[in-house]
Amino acid sequence: MENKTSRMSGPHWGQLLLVGLVAGMAYGMMEMVIEAVIGHGVWSPLRYIASVFTLGRDTDPSFAAIPVVFGLMGHMMNSLTFSLIFALLIAPRISSRAGLIIAGMVYAAAIFFVMWLVVLPLIDPAMRLVNPVGFFFSHVLYGLVLGAGLALLRQRLPAAQPARA
């Protein structure tokens, strides 16, 4: 018979991944809308992400299935990776809901600055064609949704019970 109280209490991997997926989708949709509104094209962010494989030479913002799918895969992989890092290393040190949301936003803003100033110029210069202000606020939205999602998970989990001998 399995001792249920000896299991680690806290969100399951699937729940953490779902929060990261939702945060990444919110970020991606906001970025795509911003780029469409300013005239760069709705598909441009995904095409620019995929241009990592061409070292930034593919800057065509129109729809093409293969670059869009690769861009979407790259974006979601990054979103999930950064979400898990936050959920496992930073969130456990924060006790309040508001603190999680603020920490998520600060974390995402830090990701923006590192990406914009260091990573993108080296590996994907085409991504720097996106509007930097929109790119920044899309990151902040990602952090807000990430922090709020983790706060919601925390609120819905039953209180941890001590393991019985």
Report DSSP state, residue 10: S
The pTM (predicted TM-score) of the whole model is 0.86
| Spatial distance between the Cα atoms of 34 and 135, rounded to a whole number of angstroms | 9
Q: Average pLDDT of the chain?
A: 88
Report residue 73's pLDDT band, with 50, 70 and 90 as the boundaries. very high
Mean pLDDT to the nearest integer, 35-40: 96
pLDDT in tens, 107-147: 999 999 999 999 999 999 999 999 999 999 999 999 999 99
**C-beta of residue 159 within 8 angstroms of C-beta of residue 45:** no
Report residue 160's pLDDT band, with 50, 70 and 90 as the boundaries. very low
DSSP codes joined into one string, 25-90 = HHHHHHHHHHHHHTTS-TTHHHHHHHGGGGTT-----S--HHHHHHHHHHHHHHHHHHHHHIIIII
